[in-house]
Amino acid sequence: MEDIIITVCYETEENEISTQPGIVLGDLMNQLGGRGMVPRGQTILVKKNKSDELLDLTKSLADNGIRDKDVLHVATAAKAG
Amino acid sequence: MKETSLTDRQERIAGFKQSLIDRAVIGVIGAGRTANEVIKNLALTGFRSIFVCDMDSVSDTNLPGTVLFRKADVGEPKARLAAEGFERLAVAEGAKARWLCADACYGLGEGVLRRCDLVINCVDNTQTRLYISRICKLLEKPCVDIGISGFDWTHMASSPDSDKACYACVISPRDAHEALKRVRNSCDVTLSEAAKEDRAATIITAAAMAGGKAVETAIKILHYEEREDRSYDPFYGVITSYSAASGRTESFRVPLREGCENHLSYRELGGIRPSGLSADDELGKVLERVRELYGEGYSLSLEKDCVPVSNKAFIRRAFCKCCQAPIEVYRPQFSLSDEDLLCEDCRAAGKIPLLPSRAERIYRFSLAETEERILGMKLRELGVPALHILEFVSGDESRLPLFLELDGDGKEENI
């Protein structure tokens, strides 16, 4: 499978990354967490482009319909009370 | 001069029905920063009846973020103070707040939430968020979940319908597993003291925004559930996340997650039956009553298959966390701390519990197989809270589990 380039937006940061469509979205988020692009150890929320549907972290990018040049918007679910 | 209602200004909002607020019962789980804001807003919008559950006492670091607590309250139970604060601020005459000082996962009977019209989940950990979300689905109650982190906040309303997304649909199975481990060491028995010390960065401004949003949603749910008024759409299944860094609020529509185990309701599982029993009844009497009503072969199951996020067991015997000597425990697992699993000699010598525990756990109780000493114990001593809904399972797989409510507890002073 060919690499795709996607943009990951979190808060004020935008990062362009090259990845593979077969990678599980949750694993990709963990990798990006290790590189400081998204937060670690928190519940991650991801949607793509203009859609507001929450993507499934247990599925691959391809199964989530993520393609080349897509833009992912990342947020976190706050858990303190 | 015409007499004006205290809530006149909000009653001018199109379609607003104060009567819905007046007769609603709201469950508030947690009594920390977000819950303080929620309870204040409930009081000032005219709610008359709420229930508050929290396990903690007020500390001095709680004071800057909590409108219902005062300096003199340090050391007192948050749930009681929050309930008193509600009654003090309430604009509705005769407003009443009931309260319970307990861990919602272990000490709150499900029947208490059954008596609420909706639940606002303001707790500080994912395990309890998942647990309350699950119980609300079982009881077909709407649930509003809010959380804060720094200046940021998150909000989600879950529909009472079992075929709609819930809070657990947001959390991946791996994160849910991690959430359980964080509170309780999965290979150990006792509550981790370290977990209790986990304190997040929060500020009152985030709590105020989340608390305002939660009560707005509660009001919308009451209107929407009565007549599906689109202008009061609570946007069930949408999680909203505010980030102060970007100044943006993002909304995510949560699909029903494939394989989410949290969607069947008690109605779909055969319904909840009355029992006339109480948490103060002895286990033996309870099992005899079930045999009398439903026949032979039923066991009480502390851990329900339909509540995968709980972790309930009764510990009969364990081994000392220092010298490994056997010790009698006879207590529910959730009530144990590391020090409880030291033998008398090690405790007297002031030794530190270092080893992982080994223990004999019991999850099921029956007249045929449970020892007399345990049959003579009250349900409460086994870790069953007042007004709980118990599951009885049969050895005969063709018979569905029975769900019996401890409705004999209905006259409890607080709940």
**pLDDT for residue A77:** 94
**pLDDT for residue B186:** 38
Residues in chain B closer than 8 A to A40 (CB atoms)? none
Has the ipTM of the complex gone over 0.90?
Answer: yes
B338 and B320 in contact (C-beta within 8 Å)? no
Residues in chain B closer than 8 A to A76 (CB atoms)? 149, 152, 154, 241
In the DSSP assignment, the letter for residue B243 is E
Q: Which of B34, B241, B255 is the closest to A75 by Cβ?
A: B241
Please give chain B's pLDDT, 415 residues, in tens: 566 889 999 999 999 999 999 999 999 999 999 999 999 999 999 999 999 999 999 999 999 889 999 999 999 999 999 999 999 999 999 999 999 999 999 999 999 999 999 999 999 988 899 999 999 999 999 999 999 999 999 999 999 998 899 999 998 877 787 777 655 433 456 654 545 555 789 999 999 999 999 999 999 999 999 987 889 999 999 999 999 999 999 999 999 988 888 899 999 999 999 999 999 999 999 999 999 999 999 999 998 888 876 668 999 999 999 999 999 999 999 899 888 999 999 999 998 888 887 899 999 999 999 999 999 999 999 999 999 999 999 988 889 999 999 999 876 555 6
SS3 B300: strand
Domain final position from B223, B253, B283 = B253
Q: Are residues B225 and B277 in the same domain?
A: no
In the DSSP assignment, the letter for residue A15 is E
Yes or no, beta carbons of B250 and A43 under 8 Å apart? no
Q: Are residues B26 and B118 in the same domain?
A: yes
Q: How far is CA B254 from CA B166, B195, B414, in A?
A: 8, 29, 36
A24 near B CB under 8 A: no
CA–CA separation, B114 and B401 (whole Å)? 19
**pLDDT for residue B303:** 86
* Pairing state between β A13-19 and A43-48: unpaired
Q: What CATH number has the domain bearing residue B80?
A: 3.40.50.720
Ordered domains of chain A (ranges, CATH):
4-77 (3.10.20.90)
Yes or no, beta carbons of A78 and B152 under 8 Å apart? yes
Q: Which of B30, B170, B255 is the closest to A81 by Cβ?
A: B30
* Token pair of A28 as six digits: 């990709």
Q: Are residues B244 and B120 in the same domain?
A: yes
Q: How far is CA B394 from CA B32, B289, B379, in A?
A: 41, 15, 19
Torsion of CA B89, B91, B92, B96, to 10 degrees: 0
* Pairing state between β B118-121 and B143-149: parallel
Give the residue numbers spanning the domain of B330.
272-409
**pLDDT for residue B246:** 94
**pLDDT for residue A78:** 92
Residues in chain A closer than 8 A to B174 (CB atoms)? 26, 58
**pLDDT for residue A20:** 97
Residues in chain B closer than 8 A to A12 (CB atoms)? 245-246
Cβ-based neighbour number of residue B292 at 10 Å:
8
The answer to whether the pTM exceeds 0.95 is no
Count of structural domains, chain B: 2
Whether residue B1 lies inside any domain: the answer is no
